[in-house]
Amino acid sequence: MGKGTNSFDYRTFASYLLPKDILKFFEVTDIEEEHTGQLDQTGTEIVILHISLDELDNREQLGLDLKPNGFTESREVTDFPIRDHKVVLHVRRRRWLDADGHNVVFNNYELAAAGTGYSKEFADVLKKYMDTFPITASSLARYFKVDAGNLSRSYKQYLSGFTKWDQTDHADKWLLLEQNMGTDLSIDETQIGNDVRTILTNKDGHGRKGSLIAIVKGTDSDEVVKVLLQLPEDKRNAVKEVTMDFSDSMYSIVQASFPNATIVIDCFHIFQRCFDAIEEIRLKLKRKETAKRRREEAAYKRKQHERARRRAKYRSSHPKNYKGEKRGRKPMRLNARFVPERLSNGDTMLDLLTRSKRLLAQSGDKWGTTQKARAKLLFELFPDLQTAYGLVQSLRSIFGTDKVRKGKKDNKPETSREEASVKLDEWCQKVKDCKLREVKAARDCILERREEVLNYFINGSTNASAESINAKMKGFRSEIHGIQDLPFFLFRCTKIFG
């Protein structure tokens, strides 16, 4: 560009700010900035940018003998915000008179997406966000400077395709997305609405789009199997592996629906069952300590009353007859509060048991300095907890969930299935030698599904993808403050995860 010249084309610049190709059919006639005086949630004033556009005279291109007859009423179209300003386009089309004197209006450029007040490109972006992420219309509206209620209605009725959804009639009972079938699946249950529902997912989706295969109301194995048998038989027979928890109903569903699949019990559910055993022991000890505390408080109150009685009797025979400053020890108040004994770290016994819940569910190498001191005291005072914790940690070391084969991209454990079988038998013998019925109950639960537990060591598969979708659905449900329209909620789940 030479000095003193300016060949910059502002139409090109404006074309990046306005809907695509709109300047081929319309021209900008006015721009006005409106300061509303209202503040958004960030404390910023809401400012609206009004852009007026009039249709160009394209009679020559149409090759028609028409006479101009002014403009139509302007139509408001919301477009992408510009520099934190809401943008409203005020568009007027030209009116023409034909040879017979009739008004003619041409629609050479589609201003807005059908049924909405948004430009087509803007509507496509809003739809893409709503179809992809578990967010509410309110959250998206705040970001794009549009009305939340209008966006919610426009998406549900026009943009989403919900009104043409082919599974609306039975959505409350079951949903099937056959196209998401794969060879490695997960099955779990979660609360949606007022009912628990069985959810089948594809691991290859990694908890995102393409993951959801089926949502069935209830956990009754017969009812769920009836729905899953609607999936093509060849795809069901091609399933190689299904991960699940210890649920008997899930086990029956997988056996009936996927006859060739290897069932794998999720290792994290195994650990959770063992942590529940430790928790039972902790709560039992806490109940005993609470009862002991109450006995100590009652004994303290009795002692206080006895002291008061003796003091009153002594005073009756030894009246105060001295003058001036009071002498002797200050008497203890009758309602003085009982102060329990504190340990070296400042905790009482009850505090120690209460604050140890989290550390007992963690590996020792993840403890902080305070937790290590607390664990040392806990295990000295309650050896049963130390025994149970040691047994659970030895079981975790068998699975070695933090280790993968060196130099490999898969998540297969270093331990083979045969080696794990021997180690599991050794662990069961250790549990047999202890006297903790809670840990023995957890061992019995594992042995009941021994083969399925050991199947983890084939590929190192877990139920993480199913748990991920469950957590996202719960978060989505919380984000929308409860489910008001169950079919629409399930529709959005199929869009986001299906």
Per-residue pLDDT reduced to its tens digit, 208-217: 888 999 999 9
Task: List the structure tokens of 258.
Answer: 């996927």
SS3 content of the chain, % helix, strand, coil (to 5): 50, 20, 35
The per-residue pLDDT for 325 is 62
* 131 torsion bin: left (phi>0), alpha (psi -120 to 50), beta (else): alpha
Of 257-271, 352-366, 411-425, the range with the lowest mean pLDDT is: 411-425
Rounded average pLDDT over 41-62? 83
What global pTM score does this model have? 0.81
**Residue 458 CB burial class (10 angstroms; 0-12, 13-18, ≥19):** middle
More confident residue, 289 or 4: 289
Residue labelled with tokens 């998401």 = 180
- 3-state per-residue secondary structure call for 414-447: CCCHHHHHHHHHHHHHHHHHCCCHHHHHHHHHHH
Rounded average pLDDT over 461-468? 85
Q: Which helix (H) or strand (E) holds 103?
A: strand 103-104
| Confidence band of 428 (pLDDT split at 50, 70, 90) | very high
The per-residue pLDDT for 406 is 39
Which residues neighbour 327 within 8 Å (Cβ) at sequence distance 6 or greater?
none
Residue range 162-185, pLDDT digits in tens = 999 999 899 899 999 999 999 999
Of 67-71, 131-135, 201-205, 240-244, the range with the lowest mean pLDDT is: 67-71
Task: List the structure tokens of 377.
Answer: 């005291």
Q: Which residues pair with 241 in a beta bridge?
A: 184, 262
Residue from 379, 378, 375, 386 nearest 439 by CA? 386
